[in-house]
Structure 1
Amino acid sequence: MTDDAQIEVTVIGGLHQIEAAEWDRCACPETGSGRPIDPFTTYRFLKALEDSGSVGVGTGWEPRHVLARRDGQLIGVMPCYAKNHSQGEYIFDFNWAHAYENAGGAYYPKLQAAVPFTPATGRRFLTAEGCDDVGMSALIQGAVQLAAQNELSSIHATFCTEAEAIAGAQMGLLHRTGQQFHWYNDGYADFDGFLGALSSRKRKAIRKERRVAQGFGGVIHQFTGDQIQPEHWDAFWQFYQDTGMRKWGQPYLSREFFDIAQAELRDDILLIMCERDGHWVAGAMNLIGRDTLYGRYWGCQEDHPCLHFEVCYYQAIDYAIANGMARVEAGAQGQHKLARGYLPTPVHSLHWIADPGFRDAVARFVTAEREAVDQDIEVLTEYGPFRKNGGEDEGREAE
């Protein structure tokens, strides 16, 4: 229980313990007027992770979702996981874990409020309409109580919104910032309109990359909804396995996840697939939000120059412009995205540390890190590909 006797906080070990409509009233109350803002916190996406065995016993991601009810009415939910490692998070705390354990503490298990394997910004304290403040407060208090009762070292809400980060810091949580590269739609009519905002040198470089990539000897397709067929997932699983083994040692998602995606998630997915000589040779999977396209996975069976940039970055921009979307989030890391029109953007997380001494050390670290991130974003933005002050640059006539 929280301090307010009318509010009850409980924990469930999986989404099978709650109805989809009840969860989604908090996760995506806006769906009555169209597509959800965040496709990752919907019941169907998180349930697909659980039903496919991608999270659960043996994965290091064991569901411990926190629910808050007021007078029996659900007012907030938080997708939460007990973790015994720090894999698949993308806002990493490996150094914190090493320091705490070297000092004799047990950092794991910890509690992670997140969408597994998904470095995409979205609400982590999912509240029903009109319940933002009371719902977030109840969820935080409930998570802290859960951590204390189970002697957990810490709670981490990663890739939360900036508004949540500000509110959480006011409640005493530690606010950490990081950096990603996002593309923003400045009302462009088409891809050429976007290129017109860039310096001549960057514009030429992108046009050259697109020509090289599109000359790979095949055709690039964009599939969504019922256009996606099981054969596409058969091919994409091979791409995903190859990338997963090279980047993480083993893929995070199971093969069954993609079968469930075909059945339950295909309206939320954009698959960009490359076909050559009758075979699928490369592809990228994106999730579609209301105003944002989220790039998630890429893989290939053949290497072709610049094809990765075309499929993951430029095709995503094409889709976003054609569908009036505000931005593209292309995933974690990658300063190479800057030259391709993706600008440095802060990402946020909140942290609760049980041990007071360790908390003070982490607080000093995140304060210094936040200042460094701000400076880095300022410098990188200045070196971005866009024309300065909206003016034209030299050399356009020779383009």
Structure 2
Amino acid sequence: MKIEAEFVDGVSGLDCAQWDALTDGSPLLSHAFLSALEQSGSVGEGSGWQPMPLVIKSDDNLLGAVPLYLKQHSYGEYVFDWSWAEAYAHHGLEYYPKLVAAVPFTPITGSRLLSHDSLLQKRMAEMLCETTQHLQLSSTHVLFPDVKSAQALSGPHWLRRQGVQFRWENQGFSSFDAFLTTLSHDKRKKIRQERKKVMGAGVTCRRLRGHEIGEREWDFFYKCYINTYLEHHSSPYLTQAFFHVIGQRLPGNVMMVLAERDGRYIAAALNLYDADCLYGRYWGALAYVPNLHFELCYYQAQEFCIEQGIRFFEGGAQGEHKLARGFTARETCSFHHLTHHDFEAAVSRFLAREGADMHHYQQELDERAPYKKTD
């Protein structure tokens, strides 16, 4: 069987069924999601994210792939390497462009070396290193890989970096109140008070899925999304067209929470989900209501998971405040290949120190778990 490897200029031109057959089933890795990023202009020319997925084919059959991007900056990655770039610049070296294997703007663990063949996954990991050298780039980075991808990357040419995120698990709860009974008294009391204050402010919330979300709701959500970035004095990554496209292409994987007061929308949160996991993604508000963020982004999503029998709720990057809402810390990782020998050695030493600190940090977070103590 003749196998060919090539880099193409995007996911959009690939067969969607063959691409999806390689993934772990997450909507965030789907052909629909990644091609929506491309076709909406959220990635591509002018964005600093140039798609160049690696594909492995036999005849016209897709055997393996890597969602890969040529990056001109480090925005939208959630694995922070700004200090590495500054060190390169200080020594008169170019850090950008670099290669990044990831789902853009999405700090969610998932398959990155897309194949059901472990040997082919290892070969793709090797090809990423070879390509970095061939293109004379500073580095290649694989962000938030799942266990199988991480195993394929655990070789001598890759440096492993440890991280921490927060995830909520639905332990077969029959209701939101049943979930609350598992929390310590102070956490349970605080959540009830927060929800009561939102209701007392005259706010009602409702959840819409797929085709229930109309043009009005998508347009309002985008205003909220934009406002979140404006409040943080930054620019949004995603275009308005992107959200309309995923609403059309992924109706079975999109859930929006809307907050209303006096007959008007005031805030919104958007989640993607599959049978096993809900992914909290974007939120924004056009009016301030205390605790509304917690209601829309956590409690409504947790209720949805309980109703639908979804086991996990991935809350995304950062946020120790998630602990008080029933989330627990779990380890994440990334892998990094640097072509400059001295910098590779320096980064390796840095990651060893950082890894030890991260281990202690996770132990501390585990000690602060919100659930009742048991003997």
Shorter-chain TM-score tier: over 0.9
Counterpart position of 1:14: 10
C-alpha distance in 2 between matches for 1:198 and 1:219: 25
Q: Which consecutive residues of structure 1, in runs of 5 or more, have no partner in the other structure?
A: 29-35, 392-399
Deviating beyond 3 angstroms after TM superposition, the runs of 4 or more aligned structure 1 residues are 70-73
Q: Is structure 2 residue 203 aligned with structure 1 residue 218? A: yes
C-alpha distance in 1 between matches for 2:148 and 2:89: 32
SS at match of 1:16: coil
C-alpha distance in 1 between matches for 2:11 and 2:157: 29
C-alpha distance in 2 between matches for 1:255 and 1:272: 18
**Alignment length, in residue pairs?**
375
SS at match of 2:12: helix
**Amino acid of the structure 1 residue aligned with 2:289:** H
Q: CA deviation digits over 1:196-233, x for unaligned, max 9? A: 11111111111111111222313201011221111100
Conserved in 2, the CA contact under 8 Å of 1:112 and 1:156? Answer: yes
Counterpart position of 2:68: 80
SS at match of 1:107: coil
Q: Is structure 2 residue 85 aligned with structure 1 residue 94? A: no
Counterpart position of 1:291: 276
Conserved in 2, the CA contact under 8 Å of 1:216 and 1:307? Answer: no
Q: State which of 144, 147, 158 in structure 2 corresponds to 1:173.
A: 158
Matches within 5 A, 1:37-52: 38-52=26-40
Conserved in 2, the CA contact under 8 Å of 1:66 and 1:142? Answer: no
Conserved in 1, the CA contact under 8 Å of 2:211 and 2:248? Answer: no
Q: State which of 14, 23, 26 in structure 2 corresponds to 1:27.
A: 23
Deviation at 1:72, TM superposition (A): 5.8
Deviation at 1:22, TM superposition (A): 2.0
**Amino acid of the structure 1 residue aligned with 2:99:** L
Counterpart position of 2:177: 192
C-alpha distance in 1 between matches for 2:352 and 2:5: 31
Deviation at 1:190, TM superposition (A): 1.3
Conserved in 1, the CA contact under 8 Å of 2:129 and 2:157? Answer: no
Deviation at 1:328, TM superposition (A): 0.7
Matches within 5 A, 1:294-373: 294-373=279-358
Using the aligned pairs only, state the percent identity.
Answer: 40
SS at match of 2:144: strand
C-alpha distance in 2 between matches for 1:154 and 1:248: 29
C-alpha distance in 2 between matches for 1:120 and 1:183: 14
Q: CA deviation digits over 1:73-112, x for unaligned, max 9? A: 4221110100010000011100111112212211000000
Would the alpha carbon gap of residues 162 and 267 (structure 1) be closer, same or farther in structure 2, given more than 3 Å must change?
Answer: same
**Amino acid of the structure 1 residue aligned with 2:46:** G
Deviation at 1:289, TM superposition (A): 2.3
C-alpha distance in 2 between matches for 1:166 and 1:76: 16
Q: Which consecutive residues of structure 2, in runs of 5 or more, have no partner in the other structure?
A: none
C-alpha distance in 2 between matches for 1:332 and 1:371: 20
Counterpart position of 1:123: 111
SS at match of 1:285: strand
> What is the TM-score of this pair, normalised by structure 2?
0.96
Q: State which of 43, 48, 53 in structure 1 corresponds to 2:41.
A: 53
> Which deviates more from structure 2 when the two are superposed, residues 183-192 or residues 159-168?
159-168
C-alpha distance in 2 between matches for 1:108 and 1:181: 30
**Amino acid of the structure 1 residue aligned with 2:102:** A
Conserved in 1, the CA contact under 8 Å of 2:122 and 2:152? Answer: no
Counterpart position of 1:153: 138
Deviation at 1:167, TM superposition (A): 3.2
SS at match of 1:192: helix
> Which deviates more from structure 2 when the two are superposed, residues 278-287 or residues 359-368?
359-368
Deviation at 1:295, TM superposition (A): 0.4
> What is the TM-score of this pair, normalised by structure 1?
0.90
C-alpha distance in 2 between matches for 1:306 and 1:200: 19
Counterpart position of 1:139: 124
Counterpart position of 1:111: 99
Would the alpha carbon gap of residues 97 and 111 (structure 1) be closer, same or farther in structure 2, given more than 3 Å must change?
Answer: same
C-alpha distance in 1 between matches for 2:249 and 2:13: 19
C-alpha distance in 2 between matches for 1:162 and 1:246: 36
Conserved in 2, the CA contact under 8 Å of 1:292 and 1:327? Answer: yes
C-alpha distance in 2 between matches for 1:173 and 1:290: 33
C-alpha distance in 1 between matches for 2:268 and 2:303: 16
Conserved in 2, the CA contact under 8 Å of 1:10 and 1:142? Answer: no
Counterpart position of 2:267: 282
